[in-house]
Amino acid sequence: MISVYYFGAIALILIGLYAVLVKKNVLKMLIGLSIMETGVNLLLVSVGYISGRSAPILSEGIGPNGAVDPIPQALVLTAIVIGVATTAMALSVAILIHEKYGTLNVEEIRRLRG
Amino acid sequence: MNELALIVFTPLLAGVLAWLLDIRGLREAIGVIGAAVPLAYAAMLYERAAEGLSFAINLGVFNITFALSQLNWFFVGIAALVGFSAILGLASTAKDSYEWLFALMSLTGVLGVFLASDLMTFFIFWEVMTFASFMMVLHYNKQASLKYFLLSVAGAYAMLIAIAFIYVKVGSFDFGAVQAALTQDAYAKMLGGQATFSSGELMALFGLFLVAFGVKAGLFPLHVWAPDAYSETNQSYTAMFSGVLSKAGVYGFILMYLLIGTRLAVEFGAFRSAPKFGYIIAFLGGLTIIVGGLLAALQEDIRKLFAYSSISQVGYILVGIGVGTALSMQAAMFHALSHALFKGLFFLIVATILHRTGKTTFADMGGLAEKMPFTFAMAFVAILSLAGIPPLVGFASKWVLFEAVISQNLPILGGMVFFGSAIGFVYLIRFTYAVWFGQRPTDLDDTKDAPLPLAVAMAILAFFNVVLGIAPGLVARELNKIFGSDVIGGDLFILDLGFGKYNALAILTYLIAGIAVAAVIYFLGAKVRKVPVTDTYQSGNPVTMDYNLTIRRNFFLPLKETLSGWLRISFDRTYRDIGAWVEDFGEVMRNYVYNGNVQSYAWYLLLILLILAMWGV
């Protein structure tokens, strides 16, 4: 029986992928990318979850054996920052595209081809 | 320092010096000295070739090794002699120091190829030679140099793959080790044991070597670079290009026989009396003779004519190598020598004509024999030698070759080589008459004879053409030393093959007697009378310019018309078509695959991830 966390995370990734592959508007594709990214982060965090344990902060009553896996959390922190940076950059590119070509439809902006 | 290293590296050093100093007069002197050193050392090593010399430089990763044996002494001798003459000719015709650098560098390359004693060294110097000759062509014509470059690169990669393949199996680059390993392999196969190389691998190896060496030798259908590259560079340099560099391909084929020949022969068996793989080389060589010869006859440009004729003549050598008996191998090497001598001479003559008149087409020539008597005398020697008229060296080598082919009962190859000789007369008669005799265009009236360096260079080559022709025993003795047995018997003037004999001295005597008789008749009875050119050609009928077949213009047009169906099949065009297809394919890919749509790329990414996932990566 697949865990509901995994199912939800993978479903988010697939929804994001669907948007990237099928939607024609650049902004919608970027939203798809963001959703995909969220899904990936969720998946990573859920991979590190160990049932019944608490946050990996060593404090009163919680030893190394009482905490969930801290590595995916560190990884996800990094991934979130990267995700925000790429999204910001992609959005600025989208603004430039709209200024230059007057459209956000990917089929119409083939002139971008190098 | 070791003699072998001096032979190989002095030309390069001299070339770099000449290029750096770039002072007129000084660079010529340095260049000529740089080319003279290998010649002097090659002559000095004549006695010691039998005992063998070797030299190695350790480069850390691998060794550069040279060795001298009877076989490569022979080729080094050819390269040093013809290379020296060509460099001497360059002293009159070179435009700038750039040419000195690369001409001498290619001499280093070819000497290194002949002296190399392991596959890696062989390959490195092969590339030095290719690069330098490419630069020489690039200086004159970009289009021609690119064609040369492309085919050379194909050949070089083929050779590199083959070398890597041998190294993986044998574990050594050294010629001796490779030869021993493959001979052992051949015996293992013969006795029904486990062989290292499978049948398919051997066939691939043979194919790769065929491409690698075939490109350099101008083997049909890989010859298409040669007519352009030979004609579009300094013609003095072409004397070395066509005379010596093409021999690197020939030497490569001989090397292939030495290294993997036994194994190939055991694997694929024999066709009639020739080994099957050799018969392929010989047959392609025969086609080379015919195609090169026919195309040479149809050219209107002197340089192109000799370029095609050079291709055609190398075909003879490949036939000799392909037949694969000791006699035919000797014949091939003999012809390699004589081809280098007479073709080097021819290109120096072309260089002289070009230098003095600035013209290259037959239509602009005529009556030069009066104005350039010395060059004409040299041309006469070269023509007789190429056409195979005794007692010049071209006859001796062709005779041995014909005998070698006929004695093995190979009728198709025999027909091909005989046809090649006939077509040789066809194109030479045109060169003889159109350039040297007949009416002279008025703008050639103040043409001077050859400048001194070119004259000396031509004289050297002509001297050897005559001497080795009258005393073919000199060459035969060297060739017998390579094989360690008396394959060609006889003495200094007589070649004795056991089933046939050629006495150069007797023929010379008859020839002189015949000429004396003709001279007596001429002085007693004949009278010279002047005939206008129009009388001889046109039988009194006016001829229109569009079908004006004089010896200088479209002389072989009827032949061209007869062959028109065959001439449509052009490998040059085939390669160009293949190039166009590749370009079209690229365009299609660009339009439909690399289409600028971000979403398509996302799809590709997804598909590839899916495929990888299915593979279980």
Q: Quickly tell me which residue has 């392909």 as its tokens.
A: B322
Would you state the pLDDT for residue A76?
93
Annotate A3-25 with DSSP letters as a single string. Answer: -HHHHHHHHHHHHHHHHHHH--B
* pLDDT exceeds 70 at position A113: no
- For residue B502, the surrounding DSSP H or E stretch is strand B501-503
Chain B residue numbers touching A113 (CB-CB < 8 A): 594-596
| Alpha-carbon gap, residue A6 to A22, rounded angstroms | 24
Q: Decide if B277 contacts B206 (C-beta within 8 A).
A: yes
Q: In this structure, is residue B419 part of a structural domain? A: no
Would you state the pLDDT for residue B57?
79
Whether residue A107 and residue B606 make contact (CB cut-off 8 A), yes or no, is no
pTM: 0.81
Q: In this structure, is residue B574 part of a structural domain? A: yes
10-residue mean pLDDT series, chain B (617 residues): 79 85 82 85 80 77 81 87 88 82 88 88 90 88 86 90 87 84 82 77 86 87 86 86 88 87 78 80 89 87 89 90 84 90 90 86 82 88 86 86 85 86 86 82 80 87 88 83 79 80 86 90 77 56 64 77 79 85 89 79 89 87
Strands (E), B22-123: 53-58, 63-68
Q: In this structure, is residue B547 part of a structural domain? A: no
CA distances from B442 to B55, B365, B367, B439 (A): 58, 10, 10, 9
Would you state the pLDDT for residue A30?
93
Residue A90 in contact with partner chain B when CB distance is under 8 A: no
Whether residue A21 and residue B603 make contact (CB cut-off 8 A), yes or no, is yes
* B508: amino acid identity, one letter: L
Q: In this structure, is residue B28 part of a structural domain? A: no
Q: DSSP letter at B261?
A: I
Q: How confident is the model at residue A14 (pLDDT cuts 50, 70, 90)?
A: very high
Q: How many domains does chain A have?
A: 1
Enter the tokens of residue B242.
């066509």
Q: In this structure, is residue A63 part of a structural domain? A: no
Using N-to-C axis directions, what is the helix angle for B393-407 and B411-431, rounded to 10°? Answer: 160
For B274, phi and psi rounded to 5 degrees?
-95, 150
Whether residue B599 and residue A21 make contact (CB cut-off 8 A), yes or no, is yes
What's the alpha-carbon Rg for chain A, to the nearest Å? 19
* B69: amino acid identity, one letter: S
Residue A113, min C-alpha distance to chain B (Å): 5
Q: How confident is the model at residue A1 (pLDDT cuts 50, 70, 90)?
A: low
Whichever domain contains A95, its CATH number is 1.10.287.3510
Q: Quickly tell me which residue has 């050219």 as its tokens.
A: B299
- Give the one of A21, A107, A109 whose C-beta lies nearest to B606's C-beta: A21
Q: DSSP letter at A1?
A: -
Q: In this structure, is residue B589 part of a structural domain? A: yes
Residue A50, min C-alpha distance to chain B (Å): 27
Whether residue A110 and residue B597 make contact (CB cut-off 8 A), yes or no, is yes
| Alpha-carbon gap, residue B530 to B512, rounded angstroms | 28
Q: Decide if B474 contacts B495 (C-beta within 8 A).
A: no
End-to-end CA distance of chain B: 58
Average pLDDT score over residue span A7-33: 91
Residue B603 in contact with partner chain A when CB distance is under 8 A: yes
* Residues of A (4-23) whose Cβ lies below 8 Å from B: 17, 20-22
Would you state the pLDDT for residue B504?
82
Q: DSSP letter at B441?
A: P
Q: In this structure, is residue B354 part of a structural domain? A: no
Chain B residue numbers touching A21 (CB-CB < 8 A): 599, 602-603, 606
Whether residue B606 and residue A17 make contact (CB cut-off 8 A), yes or no, is yes
For B58, phi and psi rounded to 5 degrees?
-90, 120
- Give the one of A20, A21, A113 whose C-beta lies nearest to B596's C-beta: A113
- Tell me how many degrees the CA angle B399-B400-B404 measures, rounded to the nearest 5: 115
Chain B residue numbers touching A32 (CB-CB < 8 A): none
Q: Tally Cβ neighbours within 10 Å of residue A50.
A: 10
Q: Report the sign of the C-alpha dihedral through residues B392, B393, B397, B400, in that order.
A: positive
Would you state the pLDDT for residue A86?
94
Question: Three-class SS string for B85-96?
Answer: HHHHHHHHHCCC
Would you state the pLDDT for residue A112?
56
Q: In this structure, is residue B90 part of a structural domain? A: no
Enter the tokens of residue A49.
């979850």
B598: nearest CA partner in chain A: A106
CA distances from B200 to A71, B172, B540 (A): 53, 21, 67
Name the burial class of residue B379, with classes exposed (0-12), middle (13-18) and buried (19+) by CB atoms within 10 angstroms of its CB. buried
Residue A60 in contact with partner chain B when CB distance is under 8 A: no
| Alpha-carbon gap, residue A44 to A24, rounded angstroms | 29
| Alpha-carbon gap, residue B118 to A110, rounded angstroms | 54
| Alpha-carbon gap, residue B103 to B14, rounded angstroms | 11
Q: In this structure, is residue A57 part of a structural domain? A: no
Give the domain range for residue A43.
1-51+68-112
CA distances from B125 to A90, B114, B117, B130, B156 (A): 53, 9, 11, 8, 11
Enter the tokens of residue B454.
């070119």
Q: In this structure, is residue A85 part of a structural domain? A: yes
ipTM: 0.75
Q: How many domains does chain B have?
A: 1
Q: DSSP letter at B493?
A: S
* Residues of A (16-55) whose Cβ lies below 8 Å from B: 17, 20-22, 24, 29
For B397, phi and psi rounded to 5 degrees?
-70, -40
Chain B residue numbers touching A107 (CB-CB < 8 A): 597
Q: Decide if B557 contacts B549 (C-beta within 8 A).
A: yes
* B531: amino acid identity, one letter: V
